[in-house]
Structure 1
Amino acid sequence: MVRQAAADNLEESDDLDWKEMLPQPPRDGRWNEFAKDVAAMANTRGGLIIFGVQDRTTALVGIDPDEVNRQQYAQWIRNHVQPYLPDLDIFELTDGTKTVLVVDVPASEMAPHFVYGGAARDKEQQTAVVPYRDNDHTAWMAEHQIERAYRDRFARVGRAEEELQRHIDFTAQTIAAHACAPSAWFIAVSRPQRPLPRGTYTMSRDEAREVLEAAKTRARVLQTRGLVPGPLVGMGDNTLLNPRPGLRRWVCNNLESPINREVITELHYDGTVVMAANLSFIRESEKPPGQDDDLLVSERLVTACCYDFVATTQEQQRKLRLDSTLQLTAAIISPEKPRAMAPRTSTWGDGPESTPPYARRPHRVQPAHTVLSPAAADDEGRSSADELCTDLMSQFGV
C-alpha cells in the first residue's frame, strides 16, 4: 500500500505525513520534531507518519533499518509529550529491497497533547505548545481551540464513565431478577477508549466461541499459582460453547439453569466485555457455622475472576484487532440490597480459607479501575488482574 501510494503521488494530508529521513534528535534546544509531528496527529484525527518517502516527489527512497531506534523514539514521546500517548505503534515494513518506518498515530481520547521544548538561549526555560494538523502541515492551536479540545476531552471521559456504569447497573438488575437468595457478585466491564463503530465488524457465533475457549486457556497461562476454577470453567462446556445472540453482543450465562455457580459473560460488538459471577455460591455442607448473616467472598475466587476477565478482554482485543487502550472496571456488589460481606482468605496459600478476625465486613465495595494497552503481553495482563484483585480485597482489610 505504501509503494502504491508513493507511485500514485498521493499528497500529504492531515492524516498522512511523508518523511524522507529518520527522526533526528533536537538541536540547539529546539523542538523535538518527531514529538511535535506525533502530537499534532494525535490532536487531530490520527494518521500515519511514514519515513523513507520524499515529501515533495513521493519517491520511495527507503531507510536503513539498522539506524532505526524505536526505544529512543518512544523515549522522546515520553519526555516531550503530555499527557503520554500509550497507543502509539511504530513498526518497519520491507519488501526485501527497501524498508520504511511507519508510525501509526491513533486519534487520542486524551487530546489536547502539549509538546514541551526548551529555548535556544536558555535551556532551563521550558515552553509548551499544542500542535495540530492543518491539511499537509503542522500548525499551533489558538487559545479558543485549546479550550474546545479540553471540553471535548472531558465530555468523552464523562461518556465513557457513564457507559461503564450503565453496563454494571444493567448486569446488576439482571442478577437481581434471577437471584433466589442473598448473594455477593463479582461484576467487571472492559471498554475500549475508542469503541468500534456500529457495523464495522461483527463476530460470528463460532468466533465468539473461539474467543471464550482461548480465554479459558489464556487464564491458566496468566495464573502463577493454583486457584479455584474461575467463571469460564464454571460456565461448563455446554454454556461456553453455545453463545446466544443479544443486543449487539454475544451472551453466555447459566442463570436459567444454574448447575453450580451462576455466571454471565458478554462479548459486545463494540469491543466491550462484561463478566459476572456469584461469589457467595456455597453448598450447605461447606457453609461455616456462625456466618449466616454475612455474604462470603473468597479471595481465591475473586482472583480467579479477575484473571478470567482480563484473559477474555485480551482475547476479544486480539480478535477485533482493537488498537485502543482498554478501560477495566471491577466491582463486588450485593444486587438485592447492601449487606455485610465477609472475606475468606488463607494464610497458608493452598490451605482452607477462613475469615480473619481483623477483617472488615463492608456493605459496599468501591469499584477498582485499571487500563490495558493494545496487544498487551501476558505480564501486563497478569499485572492488571492482580491490580484489580488487590484493590477489591484491600477494602476488606486483608
Structure 2
Amino acid sequence: MPIAGTFSAANLAQVVCLALLLPSARLLSMGDVARWFLVSASIVLAGSWGSWAHGIEPKWDQMVFFSLVVWQLSIIARLAPTLGVEWRGLLRRPVNIAAAVFLTLAALDYVRARETPWLTMFFQDKSHAAVAAYLLPFLVLAVNASVGRFVVATAVYAASIATASRLVALGAPIFLLACLVEYRRSRKLARGAGEVYLHHLALLALPVGFYYIARSELAAALTERLGNLGAASDASLFAHFELIKAAWDLKWSTASQVFFGAGPGGFAPTAQAEGISLAGIAAHDPGAIAAINSGFAPIHSTNASILAEFPIWIFIGFVLLWWRIVRNLWRRRELTLLLLALGMLTVTTFYSSHNEFFYAGLLSVLVLVAFNTPPSQPQCSEGEGSQAGSDPSPSG
C-alpha cells in the first residue's frame, strides 16, 4: 500500500489485481486456505498487539494489503508446478507493456514542469519509481530474444537513473552482468551472419550507451548526489543505516516484539513506546525524527521491515521463500532471473518497497519461474543450455 494516502500510478495495478484475485479461491486447497488464514491472522495479531500494549492505532489498510499479497503468492506457488508453460512466452506481453508504460510515464514526467531536477514518474516517491524502473529491465532482457530488447532495457534503466536515487547506482553492476548473460544467450539464437553481427554490435554499444547516459542531463542529479557522498549535506544515507539498526534493536527489545513484531507500518510509534534509542537518526536526519514523531516512518529497508514489523515466523518464512527462489533459479540456470532476485534483494535492503504493488508483482514472477514445471523439451547435448525452462522462445 503506498505510504501516502493519495492515489498514484502505482495504485492502478493494485485495483486490477484485486479484481482478478477475488474469484481465485477455487484454485486453492483447504490446506492452502488454512495456511493463508494462519498467516493473515498473524499479520492482524501483529498489528493489533501494539494497539493493546501501547494504544497504537492499527494500520488496517496495510494488514489487508499484505494479506492479499500472501493470497497472491499462495496462488502462484500452487499453480506454478502444474502450469507446464514456457514462462517467457507467458510473460512477454505484460512485461513489454509495462516497459512501454514506464517509458511513457518517464517521457511525460520529463517534459512537464517539475519542482525537482529528478523524475518521479508519478510515483509518490522517487525511490519507489527508481526501484521499479531498475528491476523491470531484467525482465525485459529475460522474456525477449531480439537484439532490440537491449535498447528497451537500457532506456528503462536510463529512466531509473533520472530519479537520482543512489539505489540505481548500487545495483548497476548486477544489471550490467545481466546484460552480458543475455548477450551470451541471444548470441546462441542468432541465425545467419547478419544477426551475429547485430549481437556483437549491441555488446559493443552497451558501454558506449551507458557512458553517454552517465554524462547526460538525465544523470546530472544522480552524479551530483554521488559526488556528495560523505558530506554533511548527504546525511540521509547514514540515517538509513541508523533506521535499520533501530529496527534490529526493536525486534530483540522484548519477547512480545520477537514473537509478534511492531505490526505493519508500526515501527515508528512502537520504537518510541519501547524506548529504542533514536539519537543516531536525529543526529543525521531531523526530518526522519519528525516523521517518526508524526506516527509513521518507514524503516527504508524491506528486509528490516519484515523482521521488525511482522511475527518472527513470518520473517522465517520470508527468508525460506527467498532461499528456495534463489536455489531453484540457480539449479535451472535461469541466470538473468537469478540476477533479478539478487538485484531486488540488494536495492530493497536499503528501501521499503514491500508495501508497493510492484514488489509483490516481481516476487510473484520469481515464484512462478522458480517453481514452474516447464513443458517437455527435446534432449540436448550438454553445454547447450538445455536445462528445463532455460530455452527462450525464438520470437520477441
TM-score interval for Structure 1 and Structure 2 normalised by the shorter chain: under 0.3
User: TM-score normalized by structure 2?
Assistant: 0.25
Q: Which has the higher contact order (CA 8 A, sep 6+)?
A: 2
- Higher-Rg structure is 1
User: TM-score normalized by structure 1?
Assistant: 0.24
